A and B are shown apart, each in its own frame.
Chain A
Amino acid sequence: MATNVPAVETGRTLEGVTAAVVGQERNSAQADVRRLQLLAKEKGEQEMFKAEMAEKLDDKQPNFPEIYSVLSNIPDATRRTELQNKAKLLQEIVEKKAAGTILAGATPDAHVQFLGKVAAGMPGMVAAIAKETGQTITSTKTLLENGNFNRASAVGKIIDAHLHNESFLTKLRSDIGGIEQTENQIGFSAEIATLDADIKARETNLKTEREVFTNSNGTGIVDIVQNLMTTNPSKFNQVKTYASSFKDYQNRLKSDILAGFGLDRPSGLKQGDIVQYQTDALAAIRSIAT
């Protein structure tokens, strides 16, 4: 027959265990500090960081700050918020924090429903829950996947028990560690999104440039010329003549006037000369066109 342990005794034992654990942790941290200080002194600080980076870990533990940092790079805002909220729920669960401590507004039901969705992907769990509740495997899976149950329900009670099961949480923690590996994939998605945006911007620029030449309103340069060719060929020929005259004028400006004054080399031109030539050229063009 089992002997009941008085509550006071249990309290004392727990206090003792807690103190021992805290003491051990403190000692371990101090030992780490001494080891790091020694390493830095003997081999230098850079080597100390290299040794820390190369440290082999037996059990991959979740690193939530890193996970949030990775998730913040997801380009799609809706998807980003969805995953950030999931990570916050997970953090509350694995760190055994009260619902709503990290994800504002989260309820204890949200914790069991979240774990239920995880369980839906584990055939053994689904079968066990189905057997326990007397439902079919298919309906149990659908129920879990949809999170359509609360903590007080039969399924909820089974899942809730896992929230307090240390070995289950240890497994979950090590699985979460794997989330960090998605960093590269998310990085690639962000890069692709940037390239997409770049391509779209180029398309817009090309469209704008193209519209200068031809557009649906018929106001592009090519549109006007084509229109002129078909509706008024004589005017079109006149424009061609003007263009040719303008070209001749430019040549004359260069060979006759500039050369005449010894200014046909760019190095001999002054800013004032160019303005004057432009004014003269415009006046000449106007006289030809009117």
Chain B
Amino acid sequence: MTKLTPEDKQRIYKILAEAYIDLVGQRVIGKVERKVLSRKILDHIEPAKTFEDVVSFIKDLGKTYPYFTNAATRINGELNIFHEKKVIQNLEQYINTINSVSN
């Protein structure tokens, strides 16, 4: 379980917003759906505590809004890269801590 920091959430909002704006540009979502989707995104990302919470929400979103599946795949991919970077960053930090202790 990877805990989300406020900066992580900001990055996740950015990824979601890019996919969302794409859908608006392609005119695949109407005004009501935009309102509902935005509410859903805020309702789920705001209380999300871990990276897994976000991934599970994105997966569910694709079930209700089939046209969101492509966007969800893209978001998942980007989130995974982001997650991997974060894990590597944490690992590096940990190794550095060990090095500084052993030195």
Bound-state CA distance A49–B37 (Å) is 9
Residues of B near any A CB (own CB < 8 A): 9-10, 13-14, 16-17, 20-21, 24-27, 30-39, 41-42, 45, 64-66
Known: A57-B32, A66-B64, A69-B64. A30 touches B38 (CB 8 A): no
Q: Is the CB of B25 within 8 A of A46?
A: no
Bound-state CA distance A30–B21 (Å) is 10
Chain A CB count within 10 A is highest, among B33, B38, B42, for B38
Bound-state CA distance A163–B57 (Å) is 39
- Residues 16-71 of A at the B interface (beta carbon under 8 Å): 25-26, 29-30, 32-33, 36-37, 40, 44-46, 48-50, 52-53, 55, 57, 60-63, 65-66, 68-69
Main secondary structure of the interface of B (DSSP, over half): helix
Q: Is the CB of A45 within 8 A of B34?
A: no
Bound-state CA distance A52–B23 (Å) is 14
Give me 17 other A-B pairs in contact (C-beta within 8 A), A29-B24, A55-B34, A63-B30 excluded.
A33-B21, A33-B24, A40-B17, A45-B13, A45-B14, A46-B9, A46-B13, A49-B20, A49-B38, A50-B38, A52-B35, A53-B39, A55-B35, A60-B32, A62-B32, A63-B36, A66-B32
- Residues 234-253 of A at the B interface (beta carbon under 8 Å): none
Q: For A68, give the chain B residue with the smallest CB separation.
A: B64
User: A177 at interface (Cβ–Cβ under 8 A)?
Assistant: yes
- Which listed residue (A37, A46, A63) contacts B21, Cβ 8 A? A37
Q: Is the CB of A44 within 8 A of B30?
A: no
Q: Is the CB of A53 within 8 A of B25?
A: no
Q: For B17, give the chain A residue with the smallest CB separation.
A: A45
Chain B CB count within 10 A is highest, among A36, A60, A63, for A63
Known: A46-B42, A61-B30. A32 touches B10 (CB 8 A): no
Q: Is the CB of A53 within 8 A of B42?
A: yes
B9 CB contacts on chain A under 8 angstroms: 46
In the assembled complex, the CB of B36 is this many whole angstroms from the nearest CB of chain A, namely: 5
Residues of A near any B CB (own CB < 8 A): 25-26, 29-30, 32-33, 36-37, 40, 44-46, 48-50, 52-53, 55, 57, 60-63, 65-66, 68-69, 177
B27 CB contacts on chain A under 8 angstroms: 25-26, 29
Nearest first, the 8 closest Cβ-Cβ pairs linking A and B are A52-B38, A45-B13, A45-B17, A53-B38, A63-B32, A49-B38, A69-B64, A33-B25
Q: For B9, give the chain A residue with the smallest CB separation.
A: A46
Q: Is the CB of A50 within 8 A of B42?
A: yes
- Which listed residue (A45, A61, A63) contacts B16, Cβ 8 A? A45
Bound-state CA distance A33–B9 (Å) is 22
Bound-state CA distance A62–B31 (Å) is 10
28 sampled A-B residue pairs with Cβ under 8 A = A25-B27, A29-B24, A29-B26, A32-B25, A40-B21, A44-B10, A45-B13, A45-B17, A46-B10, A46-B13, A46-B42, A46-B45, A49-B16, A49-B38, A49-B41, A52-B38, A53-B38, A53-B39, A53-B42, A55-B35, A57-B31, A61-B31, A62-B32, A63-B36, A65-B33, A65-B66, A66-B32, A66-B33
A26 CB contacts on chain B under 8 angstroms: 27
B66 CB contacts on chain A under 8 angstroms: 65
A33 CB contacts on chain B under 8 angstroms: 21, 24-25
Q: Is the CB of A177 within 8 A of B13?
A: no
